[in-house]
Amino acid sequence: MNDLSRRRALGTLGGGALLLGGCDRLAATQPLQHAFHGAEGLTYRVQRLLTPRDAMAPEFHGADLSPVFRSNGTAMPASADYAASLASDFRDYRLHVGGLVARPLAIPLDRLKALPQRAQITRHDCVEGWSAIGKWTGPALGPILRFAGLSQAARYVVFHCFDDFGGTAYYESIDLVDAFHPQTILAWALNDRPLPVANGAPVRVRIERQLGYKHAKYVRAIEAVASLDRIGRGKGGYWEDVGDYAWYAGI
């Protein structure tokens, strides 16, 4: 797709009602992560030296797809809001993009599907020791942030989810290197079908260079922030705060 048609497709974001003005321990499979546990900045810098952060995650072929892409963590968010939205086939769903942006967005599902799409067959690695290969389809996150007018002050992107664990909604965050990585997409399809509820319907993020818990399911809102200090307990994600997982979970 050339720049012009990309801009046109993104232009559709501006129309109509759209613009308004929101696991357990680290497994032995991650020795590096584990060794530097507690020295987050160091892990991050070491990883940066070992692999360029903009390198692509390996992509696979149709023949490699796992027969079943298992679900992990929440398989059905318990909130009444979510149930109502699911019952209406997510017709009332809006992906909110806010925080440090010039133009907050509320994007309906059909608009997300009308944007330029990326499809990728990748391997998902969960720290609990399982992997699965799936095909994910959705728009890249970067152009959406750009369209929203991401502020110069923004350093991180936070994903707020519909599901909660004992009253705390699941959340995750990434830096702008991952936010603008071409394989970071807002997936609404798994294996060419709308995302099953167990895998995060209607929208889940794919951050292919990081471990499974970073791939927030049931995304309700995306918030651009300058610091993670005021998000949850400050470590940038539900499991980071509660389970002491590493914020940077590069693979």
Ligand X SMILES: Nc1nc2c(c(=O)[nH]1)N[C@H]1C(S)=C(S)[C@@H](COP(=O)(O)O)O[C@H]1N2
In this structure, what DSSP letter does residue 37 have? T
Quick one: 126 or 203, whose CB is closer to Mo ion? 126
Nearer to ligand X, 147 or 240 (CB): 240
- Residues in contact with Mo ion, counted by CB under 5 A, come to a total of 4
| Residue 138 exposed, middle or buried by CB count within 10 Å (0-12, 13-18, 19+) | buried
Q: Quick one: DSSP state of residue 176?
A: H
Alpha helices in 96-251 (DSSP H): 109-114, 141-148, 176-179, 238-242
Residue 163 interacting partner from Mo ion, ligand X, none (CB closer than 5 to 8 Å by kind)? ligand X
250 binds, among Mo ion, ligand X, none (CB under 5 to 8 A by kind): none
The whole-angstrom separation of Cα 202 and Cα 85 is: 9
Which helix (H) or strand (E) segment is 7 a member of?
Answer: helix 3-11
Q: How many CB atoms lie within 10 A of CB 181?
A: 23
Q: For residue 142, state whether it binds ligand X (rule: CB under 6 A).
A: no
Neighbours of 230 (CB within 10 A): 9
Pick the binder of ligand X from 23, 46, 86, 114 (CB under 6 A). 23
Tokens of 238: 């539900």
Could you tell me the smallest distance in angstroms from the CB atom of residue 205 to ligand X?
9
The residue length of the chain stands at 251
**Which CB sits closer to Mo ion, 77 or 142?**
77
d(CA 217, CA 231): 18
Which among ligand X, Mo ion, none contacts residue 70 (Cβ within 5 to 8 A by kind)? ligand X
Site stretch for Mo ion (CB under 5 A), options 115-123, 138-146, 161-169, 205-213:
205-213
Our finding on whether 135 is near ligand X (CB under 6 A) is no
Exactly one of 136, 213, 238, 245 binds Mo ion (CB under 5 A); that residue is 213
Among residues 30, 43, 74, 137, the one that binds ligand X under rule CB under 6 A: 74
| CA–CA gap between residue 105 and residue 22 (Å, rounded) | 9
Residue from 104, 138, 139, 212 that binds Mo ion (CB under 5 A)? 212
**Residue 73 CB, nearest approach to ligand X (Å):** 2
Contact residues: ligand X, CB under 6 A: 23, 70-74, 126, 161, 163, 170, 198-200, 212-213, 215-218
